[in-house]
A and B are shown apart, each in its own frame.
Chain A
Amino acid sequence: MEHTADAEHHGGGTKEVIKLTFILSIPTVIELALGFAMMGMEQGSSLKLAIKGTIVILMMAKAFYIVGYFMHLKHEVKNLIMTIVVPLLLFVWFITAFLSDGNSFKNLKNTYDPHKKELSTQKVEKKEEVKETKTEEKKKAVE
């Protein structure tokens, strides 16, 4: 019965759950609003990058609340928190290393393989028509 006493002590009850629902919903709504705001913007503009950064920060905040409060990790013993969180710190290195590696690979390709770079800048015009005729064919087939 010690367990139920503990649960009441840090479980929070329905009020905290409602509060958490808002804490998770509000960043989601902001993220969506930013997503809509981003639509008209130029690809790769600095404002767009800043918005993407904001979205990532909001994502991390949501992740913190889900793990800390829904999954209750924040109320566990410190030893347990450390065995879970410290290994996950590897992700900091993974993300930094792999993303910059991908970026460097792209730059190398663009520098030393100009043919491929030229191919990647050619716009596709015929594909649209093909797609349209395909859907038309499909419609005919359905009819």
Chain B
Amino acid sequence: MSTTTTAVPEKLWSGGKSPFKVEYGKLMMWYFLMSDAFTFGAFLIAYGTTRFATNGWPNPNEVFKSYPFAGENANAPLVFVSIMTFILIISSVTMVLAVQAGQQMNKNKVVINLILTILGGAAFLSCQAWEWNHLFHEGAWWGRNPFLNADGTASTTNFTNFFFTITGFHGFHVFSGVIINIIMLIMTLTDKFEKRGHYLMIEKAGLYWHFVDLVWVFVFTCFYLI
């Protein structure tokens, strides 16, 4: 690959060939993801600005300390969210394997890895649904914040507003990703890609899925760790 680009670097823009060497759909997926990155970036920067402009802030280790079937007095900060993080990393890995299987025109392997990716996405969404439900029953929602600041002073609703908006927007992306992957699975099973002679569509769905994982890296760090 690198040898072909270095051999004809100045001729890339001389016309008659694709200067980016990717097909239209993939390039447009990249541009869409770039715009999406700005949307998420705007959300996270707004969150950061508000946090920098506020005197106190709740301690995430006191807010996110529960896990399913734990009961009232659970005190396990970071545990549940690290499980969610690893679920998303693993589903990203199975997506890479699906893309590679598609490049090798190996239909069965594509199907298996797509199913694993869908299961990973569904598992992540279930975890998030549980967490939202748990926080809701603790009294947290948009406009309601039952948690105190780390130093014991009263907190504002900014904390819950940003948390639910940003993780909700990310969860919506995961949900769309699962739907896209289900469509990819159906198209693979009905031999759409075999007839086309390539699995490029899986690569585009893969780009989207990895982007969802990428955003989670930032959301996870900004809300649960820092």
- Point out the residues of chain A lying under 8 angstroms from B139, CB to CB: 131, 134
Are the C-beta atoms of A79 and B221 separated by less than 8 Å?
no
- The segment from B99-107, B169-177, B186-194 that touches chain A is B99-107
**Residue A127 CB within 8 A of the other chain:** yes
Are the C-beta atoms of A17 and B20 separated by less than 8 Å?
no
- Point out the residues of chain B lying under 8 angstroms from A32, CB to CB: 78, 82, 225
**Residue B48 CB within 8 A of the other chain:** yes
Chain B, interface size category, equals 35 or more
Q: Tell me the bound Cα distance from A84 to B221 in angstroms.
A: 23
Per DSSP, chain A at the interface is: helix
Are the C-beta atoms of B213 and A66 separated by less than 8 Å?
yes
**Residue A47 CB within 8 A of the other chain:** no
Given A67-B214, A71-B211, are A3 and B21 neighbors across the interface (CB < 8 Å)? no
Are the C-beta atoms of B37 and A88 separated by less than 8 Å?
yes
Q: Tell me the bound Cα distance from A12 to B150 in angstroms.
A: 47
- The segment from B49-57, B116-124, B128-136, B160-168 that touches chain A is B49-57
- Point out the residues of chain B lying under 8 angstroms from A134, CB to CB: 139
- Point out the residues of chain B lying under 8 angstroms from A98, CB to CB: 45-46, 48-49
Chain A, interface size category, equals 35 or more
**Residue B19 CB within 8 A of the other chain:** yes
- Point out the residues of chain A lying under 8 angstroms from B37, CB to CB: 88
- Point out the residues of chain A lying under 8 angstroms from B150, CB to CB: 43
Scan residues 13-64 of chain B and give those whose CB is less than 8 A from a CB of chain A.
Answer: 19-22, 27, 30, 34, 37-38, 41, 45-46, 48-56, 59, 61
Q: Report A53 CB to chain B, min CB distance, Å.
A: 10
Are the C-beta atoms of A120 and B56 separated by less than 8 Å?
yes
**Residue B183 CB within 8 A of the other chain:** no
**Residue B154 CB within 8 A of the other chain:** yes
Are the C-beta atoms of B103 and A7 separated by less than 8 Å?
yes
- Point out the residues of chain A lying under 8 angstroms from B225, CB to CB: 31-32, 34-35, 52, 55
The residue of chain A having its C-beta at the shortest distance from the C-beta of B203 within the complex is A72
Are the C-beta atoms of B49 and A101 separated by less than 8 Å?
yes
Q: Indicate which residue in A6, A13, A20, A90 contacts B1 across the interface (CB closer than 8 Å).
A: A6
Are the C-beta atoms of B92 and A43 separated by less than 8 Å?
no
User: 1/0 per residue A38-58: CB within 8 Å of B?
Assistant: 010001000000001001100
Q: Tell me the bound Cα distance from A77 to B30 in angstroms.
A: 13
Given A11-B100, A101-B49, are A31 and B221 neighbors across the interface (CB < 8 Å)? yes
Are the C-beta atoms of B104 and A102 separated by less than 8 Å?
no
Interface centre among B21, B55, B56 (most CB of A within 10 A): B55
Are the C-beta atoms of A66 and B103 separated by less than 8 Å?
no
Are the C-beta atoms of B217 and A59 separated by less than 8 Å?
yes
Q: Tell me the bound Cα distance from A9 to B2 in angstroms.
A: 10
Q: Indicate which residue in A14, A55, A79, A99 contacts B48 across the interface (CB closer than 8 Å).
A: A99
- Point out the residues of chain A lying under 8 angstroms from B51, CB to CB: 102
The residue of chain A having its C-beta at the shortest distance from the C-beta of B27 within the complex is A80
Sampled A-B contacts (9; CB under 8 Å): A17-B100, A52-B226, A80-B22, A83-B30, A98-B45, A100-B52, A102-B52, A106-B52, A123-B151
* B-to-A contact residues, CB < 8 Å: 1, 5, 12, 19-22, 27, 30, 34, 37-38, 41, 45-46, 48-56, 59, 61, 72, 77-78, 82, 85-86, 89-90, 92-93, 95-97, 100, 103-105, 139, 146, 148, 150-154, 198, 200, 206-207, 210-211, 213-214, 217-218, 221, 224-226
Top 6 A-B pairs ranked by shortest CB distance?
A: A102-B52, A7-B103, A102-B49, A102-B53, A123-B152, A120-B55
